[in-house]
Amino acid sequence: MAAPVPSVETFLKQNQEADLLRFSTAGSVDDGKSTLIGRLLYEANSLYEDQLAALRKDSTKFMREELDLSLVMDGLKAEREQAITIDVAYRYFSTPKRHFIIADTPGHEQYTRNMATGASTADLAVVLIDASKGVLIQSKRHAFIASLLGIQHMVVAVNKMDLAGYSEEVFRKIQDDFGTFAEKLQITDLVYIPVSALNGDNVVRMSEKMPWYDGSPLLRHLENVHVMGSRNLIDLRFPVQYVNRPNMNFRGYAGRIASGTIGKGDEVLVLPSQRRTKVRSIVTFDGELAKAFAPQSVTVTLEDDVDVNRGDMLVHPHNIPHVYREIDAILIWMDPSPMQIGKVYLVKHTTQLLKGSVTGLNFKINPETLGREKAAELRLNEIGRVTVQLFKQIFCDEYSRNRETGSFIVIDPMTYATVAAGTIIERGRLSSAAKLAETGKAKNKIIHRQEGAVTPADRAKLLRQRPATLWFTGLSSSGKSSLAFELEKRLMAAGHLCFVLDGDNVRHGLNRDLSFSPPDRTENIRRVAEVARLFNEAGVIVLTAFISPYRADRGHAQEIIGAGQFIEIYTDSPVSVCERRDPKGLYEKAKAGLIPEFTGINAPYEVPQNPAIHLKTGEESLDVSAEKVYNYLRRNGFLTV
């Protein structure tokens, strides 16, 4: 019995509620990307009669034996004559479950820049591999670029299975070969589907010719894959694109929400002025909204008359981006002329257009092995890690966290051609996709850890304590040092050997060569963790007082010290309280722009997700907080009498 046909009202409601998936195709030349998309549109009944008529006519004109579905996407004359894709072709279609925007990208190496353009806005990448050829370097290059561009969902469509006799062995071999390469990429969702775009096998319907495949056909997978989880709805980033002032009674700030949500009445911080205000209204063409979220385009009005211009950014006061004039990035070079170190280019970041120059090329990346290679320049389609010096500050995040504020393009100031695309990486660290040759780095075979005859148990018995590192973390003036020294006094009075490693004291000696830049902060914490470990090995209880704003740094410190001896203590105090307590006037200086990377003002603080001890130091006294930590040590067997 046939399923009942839905009513017009039901169909329209389903169509309105369906969400959108953007996906791009990638892979080597002649792998059948355009044919696959043409087949997808054809069998999903997404081609109109006039389009089918034109397709039949063009197939005859170009002397194709059957209906050539690749012509649906190959719109340029040169593409149709050569049966290749040159430019990015976009096509919209929908099913009852979902709307789709497809970016069909070229496979030729010389058009890699076009592939990167098409993948830059995609939620998912379909990488095609010709079953008769296996995994080629261009397939790896495109998969690597898709990973660098933050695409978390990837489908490897092993095409032309008809030429391989629909062999499971061929499919599994390609799956193993690509899987070995993909282990080095930052892809969280990887699916393999054997297809024949020419014959339609496993494109829209399951194929009877491959009974060994028990997965979904391509369209069903695209309809059901969950991509909303990879979108950042936490960090509010609203770059102002246009100041809307139609009359004296209205002043709004228009733009597209890059990430996060914004609501009427929310407190916001204006960057770079550091002015705080509240949202009066959120205006759209269809009327006012109570709340808006990425990627909506809205106009925001504010309660106070503050100076906001194009390129400024609205954020939540306790969740601010990095404010940098120098960035580390992975750069994809897209111009026939090689990159020039020191040349002044234009850099487009969110709604800002500013000048900058590449001051250093750390290495370029071999797309086949993902290994680092020394290089003096980047040429067309080459990828490398660079340092970019900007002529003014930008407000950015790591690309792995925020694709909108973590990306930029480089423009030639003479021709206004886009010459490169970049993704910002955390200072001093690389993403998983760009760690490259770290796994192949040789270890030093002549250095070995030495152990004496005195055991940790011997020291614990002598000192009547188990060694531990109490890692106090929090904003400046949240009470870390005061609490550490108060606890040190109590422990010593009870006969327990301990020592405080304070941030200021360490920077006077051991770490006086380090600045407060993110990479130097990372090195500062690493050195402190190594020292704390040595103290612990001597049986001493260590109390550290460091802002240590990044979770990754604190996680690395825990790895060095050991999970059983690392006790993370969060000194939780609001910024307003820290400002009132600030004996050095650092907050005031930071707001005046005199301290460029000050945590809580113009540099982020990543709150501990699961600290061992959470102290509300903005509300409770020093004695109460110290007593809580002391009791924790006694309850958990670190102190013996």
Using an 8 Å Cβ cutoff, are 437 and 371 in contact? yes
| Domain CATH for 355 | 2.40.30.10
Domain shared by 168 and 296, yes or no: no
pLDDT at residue number 432: 42
Q: For residue range 339-358, what is the model confidence (pLDDT) as tens digits?
A: 999 899 999 999 999 999 99
At 539 the pLDDT is 92
The predicted-structure confidence for 6-63, as pLDDT tens digits, reads as follows 565 655 555 555 678 888 888 777 777 778 888 888 887 777 666 667 666 765 665 5
Could you report how far apart the first and last alpha carbons of the chain are, in Å?
81
Residue that the structure tokens 């487009």 belong to: 348
Tell me: do 498 and 518 sit in the same domain. yes
**Mean pLDDT to the nearest integer, 457-479:** 90
More confident residue, 308 or 229: 308
Which amino acid, 6? Answer: P
Give all strands (DSSP E) within 224-381, no chain letters: 238-239, 242-247, 250-256, 261-263, 267-271, 275-284, 287-289, 291-293, 297-302, 313-315, 322-333, 344-349, 352-365, 372-373
User: Would 372 be classed as within a structural domain?
Assistant: yes
Are 293 and 176 found together in one domain?
no
The answer to the question of residue 440 being in a domain is: no
Q: What is the pLDDT of residue 84?
A: 41
Confirm whether 347 is domain-assigned: yes
pLDDT tens-digit map of 164-183: 999 999 999 999 999 888 88
When divided into structural domains, the chain yields a total of 4
Domain span including residue 296:
238-315
Q: In the listed set 193, 208, 229, which residue is the last one of a domain according to the structure?
A: 229
Question: Is 422 part of a structural domain of the chain?
Answer: yes
- C-alpha to C-alpha distances, 635 to 570, 628, 629, 638, nearest whole angstrom: 19, 11, 10, 8
Find how far residue 45's CA is from the centre of its chain. Answer: 36
Is residue 229 within 8 Å of 207, Cβ to Cβ?
Answer: no
Whether 129 and 27 have beta carbons less than 8 Å apart is answered as yes
For residue 439, name the pLDDT band (cuts at 50, 70, 90).
very low
User: What average pLDDT is seen over the chain?
Assistant: 83
Supply the pLDDT for residue 511: 84
Assess whether 244 and 299 both reside in one domain: yes
Q: What is the pTM of this model?
A: 0.58
pLDDT of residue 445 exceeding 60, the answer is: no
On whether both 423 and 333 belong to a single domain, the answer is: yes
CB 522 within 8 A of CB 430: no
Query: What confidence category does residue 436 fall into, taking pLDDT thresholds of 50, 70 and 90?
Result: very low
Does residue 1 fall inside a structural domain?
no
pLDDT at res. 308: 92
Condensed to tens digits (0 to 9), the pLDDT of residues 545-576 reads 999 988 888 988 998 998 889 999 999 998 88
- Does the pLDDT of residue 114 top 70, yes or no? no
- In tens, the pLDDT along 366-407 reads 877 778 888 889 998 888 899 999 988 899 988 878 888 999
Burial (CB < 10 A; 0-12, 13-18, 19+), residue 289, is middle
Q: What is the largest CA-CA distance in the chain?
A: 95
Q: What is the pLDDT of residue 440?
A: 38
Domain co-membership, 306 together with 346: no
pLDDT of residue 82: 42
**In 57-123, beta strands by DSSP E:** 89-94, 98-104
Cβ atoms of 399 and 407 closer than 8 Å: yes
Q: Which of 315, 338, 365 is the last residue of a domain?
A: 315
Q: CA-to-CA distance for 264 and 299, rounded, in angstroms? A: 12
80, 198, 444 from 61: Cα distances, Å? 10, 19, 66
Asked if residue 245 and residue 210 are part of one domain, the reply reads no
Contact 383, 330 (CB under 8 A): yes
Residues forming a β-bridge with 128: 27, 157
**Per the domain annotation, does 3 fall within a domain?**
no
247 and 224 share a domain?
no
* 191 pLDDT above the threshold of 80: yes
pLDDT at 437: 35
> Quick one: tokens of 153?
């969902």
> Between 288 and 592, whose confidence is greater?
288
Residues 495 and 538 in one domain: yes
**Predicted confidence band at 226 (pLDDT cuts at 50, 70, 90)?**
confident
Structural domain includes residue 447: no
% of the chain exceeding 90 in pLDDT:
38
129 lies in some domain? yes
Of the residues 196, 229, 262, which one is the last residue of a structural domain?
Answer: 229
Residue 293 shares a structural domain with residue 211: no
- Do 187 and 328 sit in the same domain of this protein? no
Beta strands, E only, 13-75: 19-27
Specify the CATH number for the domain of residue 97: 3.40.50.300
User: Phi and psi at residue 635, in whole multiples of 5°?
Assistant: -65, -35
Q: What is the pLDDT of residue 446?
A: 45
Instruction: Please tell me whether residues 138 and 200 are part of one structural domain.
Output: yes
